[in-house]
Amino acid sequence: MHPHPADSSSQEQTPPHSETPPPGASHPVHSMRQRVRSGLQAVAQAGVALLATLVVAAVLLALGGHSPGGALGALYMGAFGSWNRFVSFTLVQATPLLFTGLGVALAFKAGVWNIGAEGQLYAGALAGVAVAVLLPGANPVLLVPTTLCAAAAAGALWAAAPAAMKTRMGVSEVITTLLMNFVALYFAQFLVQGLLQESRGIFNMTDEIPAAAELPPLLPGTRLHLGFLLGIVAAVALWLYLTRTPGGFRVRAAGASVKASVVSGRFNPRSVIWLSFLGSGAFAGLAGWTQVAGITGRMYEGFSPGWGYTAIAVALLARLDPIAVPITAVIFGALSAGGGAMQREAGVPEVWVRGTEALLILAVLVVDRGVRAASEKGHG
């Protein structure tokens, strides 16, 4: 029996895929030497983008009447100044960005424009809290994996509606995932004021989760928790999946060309899109719950400072390569951790950090555009 990977209408109904690919959407993978070479090129491109950002930021700081050297120095000291600053602040801040960044990288690799990591993060955090609160007295060996699974499942579930609308009706996921962010935000508000509100019923937040659900510290004496290690493991696993397995290959192929996937790959890109959507949501869900279980201990209104959106920058700077996401997550974690120090030490408002993040995204886009234009010119 010959497999029919797509039904008769697959070529017509496959969702549109023609947005500009994000940087790194399709960089080739090959033998060791070539991999080193393309890796070096990626590092060089990211380096150019980082350098350009630093220069522009320094100019803007100077224009704003600040000393660029002082500001950047304070930022650096705040992020990397001591072992404790690095571990308890930079790495801790990097952890949710690591997970959401992986989710965004997976989705974008598959050509899925999931900008709903923020909402999926909330869904994951809420599900984790709900399970932890509903199962009091369970022992950690049981509770930690259960809550992690619940969070991943909830994040995936939050991505399911946009996934269904994209694959079945061809509705662009850009708008639907954005809408779902707000639904999640208000749903979380509703829960922390109602069903999940702390027992005294005063503050809009949940009870503290039971100790058995907490993620244990990774290094004694620091705030760094197991979540960071899980994130690293997830990054390696996703990298292996995308580069070494047939399924991961299909994800990248579907992201590169839906038509070629059907005609030459003989698989149904729709199921790949589903899988990437759900996987992406699951990573974001884990981002939310590991933050609760490792740091905050509870959920509250305005829980995320926009990790789901910063994740786009994290994934882009990593050129959607999961193995590079931990590095870029740490860079953004450092920006976030150093921002406070910059304000205290150099008197430069912390909001400069967010501006710098934006500059970095634009720089990555422009560098990639330039490289693409150069390669087209060279071979066109």
| Smallest separation (angstroms) from other proteins to the CB of 359 | 7
Nearest to 346 by CA among 56, 91, 53, 62: 62
* Range 90-119, binding other proteins (CB under 8 A): 113, 115
For 252, phi then psi, to 5°, come to: -70, -35
Q: Choose which of 26, 67, 197, 222 interacts with other proteins (CB under 8 A).
A: 26
Residues 293-332 that bind other proteins (CB under 8 A): 306, 309-310, 312-313, 316
- Determine the Cα–Cα distance for residues 49 and 57; give it in Å rounded to an integer: 12
Nearest to 99 by CA among 365, 360, 283: 283
| 206, β-bridge pairs | 197
Least Å distance, CB 227 to other proteins, is 24
Cα angle: 294, vertex 140, 203; to 5 degrees: 50
Nearest-CA neighbor of 311 among 114, 75, 68? Answer: 114
Footprint on residues 180-239 left by other proteins (CB under 8 A): 180-183, 186-187, 189-190, 193-194
Amino acid of residue 158: W
Q: Specify the residue, 283 or 352, whose C-beta has the smaller distance to other proteins.
A: 352
Please identify, among the stretches 81-89, 93-101, 211-219, 351-359, the one whose residues bind other proteins according to the rule CB under 8 A: 351-359
Asked if 92 and 328 touch (Cβ cutoff 8 Å), the reply is no
Residue type, 266: R
146, 172, 197, 222: which one binds other proteins (CB under 8 A): 172
Region binding other proteins by CB under 8 A among candidate stretches 128-136, 231-239, 323-331, 356-364:
356-364
The residue among 229 and 263 lying less far from other proteins, judged by its C-beta, is 263
- By CB under 8 A, residue 379 contacts other proteins: yes
Three-state SS string over 24-51 comes to: CCCCCCCCHHHHHHHHHHHHHHHHHHHH
Least CB distance to other proteins at residue 110 (A):
13
Backbone phi and psi for residue 293, each to the nearest 5 degrees, phi listed first: -75, -20
Please identify which residue in 209, 226, 253, 325 interacts with other proteins, judged by CB under 8 A. 253
Tell me the β-bridge partners of 217: 225
Applying CB under 8 A, among 226, 287, 292, 359 the residue interacting with other proteins is 359
Per CB under 8 A, 4 contacts other proteins = yes
- Give yes or no for residue 5 binding other proteins (CB under 8 A): yes
